[in-house]
Structure 1
Amino acid sequence: MRIGLLTEGGYPYVNGEGGLWCDRLVRGLGQHEFDVYAFSRGEAQEDAGWVPLPPQVRRVRTAPLWTAEDDGVVYGRRARRRFSEHYGELAAALCAAPDAATPAADPATPAADSPAPEADRFTTALHGLAELAHDEGGLVAALRSETAVRALERACRAPGAQRAAREARVQDLLAVAAHLERALRPLSLDWYEEDGLGAVDLCHAAAGGAAALPGLLAHHFLGVPLLLTEYGVRLRTHYLTRPDAPPAVRSLLAAFHSRLAAETYRRAVFVTPGNTHARRWQERCGADRAKLRTVYPGLDATPFAEAGESPQSADPHTLVWAGRVEPAKDLVSLLHAFAAIRAEEPKTRLRIIGGPSGTEGAAYLGHCKALAAQLFPDEAAGPHAVGDNPVSFEEPGGPGSPADACADGAVTVLSSVVEGFPVGLIEAMLCGRATVSTDVGAVVEVIGGTGLVVPPRNPRALAEACVSLLRDPERRARLGAAARARALELFTVEQNISAFHGLYLQIVARTPVRRPALDGAGDPLPFASPAEARIPGHWTDPAPRAVPTWATDAPVPATETAR
């Protein structure tokens, strides 16, 4: 089959976020063809280039999200009226009071079977803007126009609008209009044609938000089914950003991203979170529980095989922490816990392996080094000589591999107060090492019963758990063996690829045939499509196929590479 892989700031760019699992997926499914539709996040990312692509990637089309040149399209009177109507409807849906499209109060509450009126209004306006963009050759200038700001202002001042929207100031309206212009840039692309996304059998969006928007339009206009994968819930990320924005800006942008996420969840055949923590967020944000299929990210177990098969190679007096250095990792609590550990086990050492994340991380790393020097001053006598501090800060990528770093320690420690999917813990599990972790994010789901879990921000509990494992080598060995077995069963590349391959087959099997199969001469192949594929029924999920009156000229600038 032919899969359209939709990404934002990830694959196939060298420094793309989350590009590794996409690359492993594409390479692992060599029997299929892939068309990659990618959004870039910056000029530096584009200049860095792409990763080497396997032969099954037949085409790559890219477009920047970080910039958009004025398309120079001048709307006539009818087009201006259409834009004002559709944009006004979109704004009205955002200004309306919350309904079923917004997150439910109880994460266990299932999503509604049919959309709420305002959600349907949002969807109709979104599709209307997309049709207008293709009919007129672009939407960028219109979204930046005074007409857009005026339509947004009318919606905010209309009866029934939310209080925060009614109190929006001019600068708030300008900020919201600018954000909507960036978010709606995918509507102006020329990807939604029969020779574009219409040529694929299914769209696989590697993230929500902008990456999923082309999949929504391909589904609506071309009947292409959509699979959505979210290893980080985009709506949750939006809620955690812009804390200092004015209330009107936060309210309107939250409404936009909430309705876009709800529409994506509603239209997708399946939604695949990377863990139960993300799955709960998706349910809270409107995803139907019946569509959810948890697919864990896969790690290559080969580099960890040697360490996993020789647990006796670990230093029985060494603790290892690995990851990005930032305040959320709470290394301060770890250092205080290590002070208590040293009081009980003086020979113990702590290796902190990781680089800082941005300027904030660099400042935090400096603070942690200063704290370590204060807690563990160099001693002229005792188990360590002068200048031999028991805490070492090491940059990643030094001598040895990540497997070597995990293998050197008897216990791997995670001290985070906020955590998504703890890849570092899985690496330690593949090495057969016992772990001590804080109860955050998906940690308990990953660890199961193969490690010790303590409350976050509790140095005493962290220290007691580490000491108990340092003093009991047999228990460490049992937990390490169980952890390796669990990781090999659940968190390998092979299980990830197998899960997605099965979902691809399920989706295609329940999707009606949209185009005839042709032979080498271009003639229809008799009996190429089974008769059952044209029989309506619940298993086929037939959707009316709208045929838009799109113009074929003046596409928005984008790049395409055919392989």
Structure 2
Amino acid sequence: MRIALLTEGGYPYARGEAVVWCDRLLRGLGGHEFEVYALSRSARQESGRRCELPGNVRRLHTAALWGAAAGRGSAEARAGSSGSYGRRERRRFEECFGELAAAVCGAGRGGGGVPTGDEAADGLLADRFAAGLYGLAELARDCGTGLRAALRSEPAVRILQSACRAPGTLRAVHSARVRDLLAVSERLERALRPLSLDWYGDGQEDEADGCGRGLAGVDVCHAVGGGPAALPGLLAKRFFGTPLLITEYGVRVREHYLASAADAVAPAAAGAAVRALLGSFQRQLAREAYTQAQLITPGNIHARRWQERCGAPRGKLRTVYPGMDAAPFAELGEEAGRPRSEVTTARKAKVEVRSGASGAGTRRAADGATLVWAGRIEPSKDLIGLLHAFADVRQAVPGARLRIVTTAPAHGNEAREYESRCRALAAQLFPDEAADSVAVGENPVSFEELGTPSVPTAADAYGAGCVVVLSSSVEGFPVPLVEAMFSGRATVSTDVGAVCEVIGGTGLVVPSRNPRALADSCIALLRDPERRERLGAAARARALELFTVEQNVAAFRAIYLELMSRWPVGAGNAVGSAAAGEAEEPLPFSRPPESHVPGRWAAGTAGPGGSHAGRPVPGVRAPVALVPLMLSAAAGRPALLSAAHAGSEDPRGEGR
């Protein structure tokens, strides 16, 4: 089948586990064709290095959620008219944007986008938001890109101002000033740019490769996030009835709330009214995306709770843990089941080999008293608390060491300042120590960077310690914790985010921002080697069962087939259709997933002019006789098809 992957600020631009997850998913599902629709968040991101796309990605479409609006400039738009619209179009825009603005301000309810428990009031507000959103989308579809200029125009600002002054709105927006409204209109224009993109097409096949043009030609829209990335999927469902799948490992609304005011809006307009309006918009958009999606796959129970709080129907939620590559940690993890003396001998031999190759001993073997912390240094990781906890550990275990391994350079002034504070605190709490008067002093706390000679790989970082520590005060899905579990290491973690769900009883968990409790747990494990080994072996078994790439790819393969079987394209899925209310019930296969077979599968069955030298033929559909064969092979059953029948083809030349 053909799948549209919708991203915002992620694949194929940025780096990180979320981007790696997308790449592994696409490569693991080589039997399906993908089209990637990517929204970039900044000029730096778009100009940076992109991931190498796998061969089953047919097209890459990109658009920017930054910079000035296309078409008429914002200064000209604010001069009075709504962009290039005529009188009738301006009236349509004002009506639609008025509905959306009233919903964002929470007009008539006082909730400002936050659920109050009154289902009728919440539903009315959601209906107004949907009416305004889809009205603007239809206006952009009918009248071109003038929507961008209209959203930054003076009438749009006046509509926002009236909505903020309406009775029953959120108290914080009553104080919105003109500069606040200008900042909000600018951010709304950027977030709503997907409404006026040329990604949707008309469903007709492209002569170049025989594939349908735009989102009209795909079988499933898979949005990575419930924010602006889901907007193209919402419009594809409304216009063409395409089923929508939403996957979130970091909930977009949560990310917005956790961002500082300086990061969320322009520094000159970081007021309470701006934060309230943008937060309400993000929440209303997420609620609409969750409501219209056929399935929602949170990456953990923590994300699932956020989605339920934002209005996601519980029956649509299905937790799918992110898939991570366990291969780099296989050798380290297998040591958990081997005798300690054999492991020590093997480590020493490996260190000697590396020392001879590089001319210096680059990696220290774990000595039973080394703690390891790995991640990006930033305030939410609470390294200050970890250093204070390690001071207590040093008093109880004098030979203990702490290795702080940074997986990426500090990004931003705040992160760099925090790293400097951590280094200064470490130097103050732990002066350099020397064995005698002629030896060089060494600090028990070391700051190292992943990829350097001292720590070439993540496996080297975890292998040099016997206990891995996570000290975060805010966390989503703890990737370093899963890597430590793959490595068979005992862990001490703070109770934040999805930590308890990931650990599942195979490690020690303490309250966040409690250095005393963190120190006590570290001391307990440092003094009990047998307990460390038991916890490490149990952690590795749990990680291999739940968090591998294989289980993630298998889960999404089944989900794609389910979407095609229960919600085939156009079968009552379109928003506002008569059958939309019945779409939740299972539907028979009106178009089997195997009816469209990628060219490389059909290369051997194409007739003259089809395949050449085994190369894939775009748009080639398998003969109908092959469909039962593939279905039977997938189910592990013999095909009930005679040789004579197998040679016949559908007279229409396509599969049923």
Q: TM-score scaled to structure 2, two decimals?
A: 0.75
Displacement of 1:382 in angstroms is 6.8
Who is 1:123 aligned against?
130
Give the one of 219, 230, 241 matched to 2:237.
219
Distance across 1 between alignment mates of 2:426 and 2:438? 15
1:66 counterpart = 2:95: no
Displacement of 1:188 in angstroms is 0.8
Q: Closer, same or farther in 2 for the Cα pair 1:208/1:375, shift >3 Å? A: same
Give the one of 418, 426, 431 matched to 1:364.
418
Aligned residues: 521
Cα pair 2:173 2:273 within 8 Å, conserved: yes
Cα pair 2:219 2:568 within 8 Å, conserved: no
Give a deviation string over 1:91-129, Cα, whole Å, max 9, x none. Answer: 122221458994446xxx8x9699711211110111111
Give the one of 480, 495, 506 matched to 2:551.
495
Q: Closer, same or farther in 2 for the Cα pair 1:45/1:82, shift >3 Å? A: same
Give a deviation string over 1:70-109, Cα, whole Å, max 9, x none. Answer: 324621111111111111121122221458994446xxx8
Who is 1:321 aligned against?
373
Distance across 2 between alignment mates of 1:486 and 1:75? 59
The amino acid across from 2:371 in the alignment is L
Distance across 1 between alignment mates of 2:174 and 2:114? 22
Cα pair 2:243 2:569 within 8 Å, conserved: no
1:511 counterpart = 2:567: yes
Q: How does 1:30-45 map to 2 (within 5 A)?
A: 30-45=30-45
Who is 1:207 aligned against?
225
* Higher-RCO chain (CA-CA 8 Å, sequence separation at least 6): 1
Cα pair 1:2 1:34 within 8 Å, conserved: yes
Moved more, 259-268 or 344-353: 344-353
Determine helix, strand or coil for the equivalent of 2:136: helix
Q: Closer, same or farther in 2 for the Cα pair 1:103/1:541, shift >3 Å? A: farther
Cα pair 1:165 1:252 within 8 Å, conserved: yes
Who is 2:161 aligned against?
153
The amino acid across from 1:373 in the alignment is A
Give a deviation string over 1:210-231, Cα, whole Å, max 9, x none. Answer: 1111111111111011100111
Displacement of 1:381 in angstroms is 4.0
1:273 counterpart = 2:298: yes
Give a deviation string over 1:403-458, Cα, whole Å, max 9, x none. Answer: 11111111111111111111101111101011111111111111111111112222
Cα pair 1:230 1:272 within 8 Å, conserved: yes
Give the one of 157, 169, 182 matched to 1:174.
182
Q: Closer, same or farther in 2 for the Cα pair 1:257/1:385, shift >3 Å? A: same
Displacement of 1:308 in angstroms is 0.5
The amino acid across from 2:21 in the alignment is W
Who is 1:233 aligned against?
251
Give the one of 205, 216, 219 matched to 1:198.
216
Distance across 1 between alignment mates of 2:115 and 2:166? 25
Cα pair 1:320 1:352 within 8 Å, conserved: yes
Who is 1:547 aligned against?
none
Cα pair 2:108 2:166 within 8 Å, conserved: no
Give the one of 64, 78, 86 matched to 2:96.
86
Distance across 2 between alignment mates of 1:237 and 1:4? 24
Distance across 2 between alignment mates of 1:162 and 1:513? 40
Q: Closer, same or farther in 2 for the Cα pair 1:157/1:375, shift >3 Å? A: closer
| Identity between Structure 1 and Structure 2 (%) | 63
Displacement of 1:157 in angstroms is 3.0
Cα pair 2:376 2:410 within 8 Å, conserved: yes
Give a deviation string over 1:233-272, Cα, whole Å, max 9, x none. Answer: 1111222335473332233222211111110000011111
Determine helix, strand or coil for the equivalent of 2:150: helix
Distance across 1 between alignment mates of 2:460 and 2:261? 40
Distance across 1 between alignment mates of 2:240 and 2:195? 14
Determine helix, strand or coil for the equivalent of 2:46: helix
Displacement of 1:42 in angstroms is 2.1
Who is 2:495 aligned against?
439
Displacement of 1:307 in angstroms is 0.4
The amino acid across from 1:424 in the alignment is P
Q: Closer, same or farther in 2 for the Cα pair 1:143/1:68, shift >3 Å? A: same
Q: How does 1:402-481 map to 2 (within 5 A)?
A: 402-481=458-537
Distance across 2 between alignment mates of 1:457 and 1:384? 40
Who is 2:585 aligned against?
538
Displacement of 1:288 in angstroms is 0.8
Moved more, 251-260 or 295-304: 251-260
Moved more, 302-311 or 337-346: 337-346
Q: TM-score scaled to structure 1, two decimals?
A: 0.87
Distance across 2 between alignment mates of 1:408 and 1:277? 31
Q: Closer, same or farther in 2 for the Cα pair 1:464/1:3, shift >3 Å? A: same
Who is 2:432 aligned against?
378
Displacement of 1:147 in angstroms is 1.5
Cα pair 2:242 2:568 within 8 Å, conserved: no
Give the one of 393, 399, 403 matched to 1:347.
399
Distance across 1 between alignment mates of 2:49 and 2:448? 29
1:141 counterpart = 2:149: yes
The amino acid across from 2:223 in the alignment is A
Determine helix, strand or coil for the equivalent of 2:247: strand
Displacement of 1:499 in angstroms is 1.2
Give a deviation string over 1:499-524, Cα, whole Å, max 9, x none. Answer: 11111111111123549xxxxxxxxx
Cα pair 1:324 1:357 within 8 Å, conserved: no
Distance across 2 between alignment mates of 1:305 and 1:228? 32
**Where do 5+ consecutive residues of structure 2 fail to align?**
73-82, 204-212, 263-269, 337-342, 348-365, 572-581, 590-617, 620-656
Q: Closer, same or farther in 2 for the Cα pair 1:383/1:482, shift >3 Å? A: farther
Cα pair 1:102 1:285 within 8 Å, conserved: no
Who is 1:27 aligned against?
27
Give the one of 310, 319, 325 matched to 1:300.
325
Give a deviation string over 1:362-386, Cα, whole Å, max 9, x none. Answer: 2122212221122221234479954
Distance across 2 between alignment mates of 1:292 and 1:537? 13
Who is 1:391 aligned against?
445
Determine helix, strand or coil for the equivalent of 1:212: helix
Displacement of 1:17 in angstroms is 7.4
Give a deviation string over 1:326-374, Cα, whole Å, max 9, x none. Answer: 1211112211221221222222111110143422222122212221122
Who is 2:54 aligned against?
54
Displacement of 1:182 in angstroms is 1.2
Determine helix, strand or coil for the equivalent of 2:466: strand
Distance across 1 between alignment mates of 2:550 and 2:112? 36
Give a deviation string over 1:261-302, Cα, whole Å, max 9, x none. Answer: 110000011111111111111111111111111111111001
Q: Closer, same or farther in 2 for the Cα pair 1:381/1:287, shift >3 Å? A: same
1:18 counterpart = 2:18: yes
Determine helix, strand or coil for the equivalent of 1:62: strand
Cα pair 1:315 1:409 within 8 Å, conserved: yes
Give a deviation string over 1:538-559, Cα, whole Å, max 9, x none. Answer: 22399xxxxxxxxxxxxxxxxx
Q: Closer, same or farther in 2 for the Cα pair 1:436/1:160, shift >3 Å? A: closer
Higher radius of gyration, 1 or 2? 2
Who is 1:550 aligned against?
none
Q: Closer, same or farther in 2 for the Cα pair 1:296/1:457, shift >3 Å? A: same
Who is 2:267 aligned against?
none
Q: Closer, same or farther in 2 for the Cα pair 1:157/1:372, shift >3 Å? A: closer
Cα pair 2:110 2:170 within 8 Å, conserved: no
Determine helix, strand or coil for the equivalent of 1:116: helix
